[in-house]
Structure 1
């Protein structure tokens, strides 16, 4: 049976296109059918060469077909990536040998119900971010958990995130870093005018809810992973719950998440001596 790997890259970056060409050529030398920026249907792996945006774009297709995704960071942070550019030869070797393990990352399902009863759904692996539609004014909201109201405030936005997304927009908004093997949902208000507007972390079975108050008269927008837009008029109700379909990531190393944090954020660890044996 013919093996197939989908290679996805940022076509606007010459260095990424060149790297994809090299990877495709190396894979074909091992009689692997390579598809460039197409559908992952029938593929055993999606290899992504690019930054976070390219990886999130590829995750849409990979999730739909339940194919694991292997990212090589050609951007800045690349938190979802598994390797850096200098590791490309090893990535190809490991992909050919199927020498990787696959982990599942929790997603969220988003449902926006507008005042006229229309429903608009979406999903995210990082976050669903509610943002105000007008620069000069706040969006007025009420938040709730599991069907019970919790607090009301005006704000610039609200980030509803997964543990994977805790190091993305939610982190910039002051949310906690959550290890990816912790099953939880996060709610992080952005620039809220309220005494009780701290980040929340709830269990995976809970449902996060946000209402955009009708008297605020400010349209808002929901962005799923910064890519998929849902318009949110005043009076809309938003629910976010654990996603029915995870994203599968191919991993090459058993590095603990703490090591990934240190490497990606270049954290200072001088003075750490570790456990004495």
Structure 2
């Protein structure tokens, strides 16, 4: 008997309301269902409540109800356990989702029958090396962004790849993106779209004060070092997937490299990356 976790976007009423229907369907399929204690209490399924550790580590797979943001947040938490994620789009874009709500039953049946493909998405590890504190590490699925604060003047970002100096951008910030994240902030900043199964990263300046600053694509096996020169001008912030952030101290060095973990996404349809790209991004602008 499989154990299936459910992680809804608790800020979306539609996602929370759909939990009950999903629980009933999974029980019909002889599955154990797991919810965090908080979600179990809100939805009235207290008997299904488990700790977050149990949800992420003991589930055979996790159904994520929401948009790409919910899937990214769940992906970072589940990555170290290798738990596969099945994204059900209840947001606006749903670029990472495996199916829409109308396809839920058919999609879950295919997963339970073993009729699916598992995509391992490259993740990033960002390490802050401080002059005054021990190193701190953070994980990201889409991107690591180093950006100036609201009232901070334009900042210089010196970029090194494998300890070799590459360039200095005077810009609002710099994005280190995975192929998965290439269609997110990286794309908005003028960076390239990267196919998810390519082993690479993109370095993209944000609003660079230059006529010649362009994105640079490097190997996923490279290590990027960023040194931000902001002095007493204000704050510089490092954010992961646009969801978690830390304020940097002057003199901090950021090392970004491929994480030892990956986000495992369940895919049940035969739509290619290019079809999804065309339908989700290209055709919307036509």
Question: Structures share a fold, TM > 0.5?
Answer: yes
Structure 1 match to 2:21? 22
Structure 2 match to 1:12? 11
State how 1:219-234 maps to structure 2 within 5 Å: 219-234=235-250
Residues 227-273 of structure 1: per-residue CA shift (max 9 Å, x gap): 22222122211111111111111110232210110121152899xxx
Specify which of 227, 243, 253 is matched with residue 259 of structure 2: 243
Distance in 1 (CA, whole Å) between partners of 2:85 and 2:260 is 18
Specify which of 104, 111, 126 is matched with residue 127 of structure 2: 111
Q: How does the TM-score come out when normalised to structure 1?
A: 0.91
Residue 99 (1) aligns with residue 99 (2): no
Deviation of 1:12 (Å) = 2.3
Residues 210-241 of structure 1: per-residue CA shift (max 9 Å, x gap): 10125464321111112222221222111111
Distance in 2 (CA, whole Å) between partners of 1:250 and 1:240 is 26
Please list every run of 5 or more consecutive structure 2 residues that lacks an aligned counterpart in the other structure.
37-51
Please list every run of 5 or more consecutive structure 1 residues that lacks an aligned counterpart in the other structure.
271-277
Q: Is this contact kept in 1: 2:116–2:266, CA < 8 A?
A: yes
Distance in 2 (CA, whole Å) between partners of 1:36 and 1:263 is 33
Q: Is this contact kept in 2: 1:218–1:233, CA < 8 A?
A: no
State how 1:154-193 maps to structure 2 within 5 Å: 154-193=170-209
Instruction: Report the structure, 1 or 2, having the larger helix content.
Output: 2
- Residue 97 and residue 261 in structure 1: after superposition, are their counterparts in 2 closer, same or farther (change >3 A)? same
Q: Is this contact kept in 1: 2:151–2:234, CA < 8 A?
A: no
Q: How does the TM-score come out when normalised to structure 2?
A: 0.88
- Residue 71 and residue 268 in structure 1: after superposition, are their counterparts in 2 closer, same or farther (change >3 A)? closer
**What SS does the corresponding residue of 1:243 show, helix, strand or coil?**
strand
Distance in 2 (CA, whole Å) between partners of 1:268 and 1:139 is 34
Specify which of 144, 150, 158 is matched with residue 142 of structure 1: 158
Report how many aligned residue pairs link the two structures. Answer: 269
Q: Is this contact kept in 1: 2:117–2:267, CA < 8 A?
A: yes
Distance in 2 (CA, whole Å) between partners of 1:33 and 1:266 is 40
Distance in 2 (CA, whole Å) between partners of 1:198 and 1:115 is 31
Q: Is this contact kept in 1: 2:146–2:173, CA < 8 A?
A: yes
Q: Is this contact kept in 2: 1:162–1:186, CA < 8 A?
A: yes
Deviation of 1:64 (Å) = 2.3
Structure 2 match to 1:62? 78
Deviation of 1:61 (Å) = 2.5
Structure 1 match to 2:98? 82
Distance in 2 (CA, whole Å) between partners of 1:168 and 1:36 is 29
**What SS does the corresponding residue of 2:283 show, helix, strand or coil?**
coil
Residue 254 (1) aligns with residue 270 (2): yes
- Residue 196 and residue 118 in structure 1: after superposition, are their counterparts in 2 closer, same or farther (change >3 A)? farther
- The alignment's C-alpha RMSD in Å is 1.9
Residues 39-61 of structure 1: per-residue CA shift (max 9 Å, x gap): 22221111111011211121123
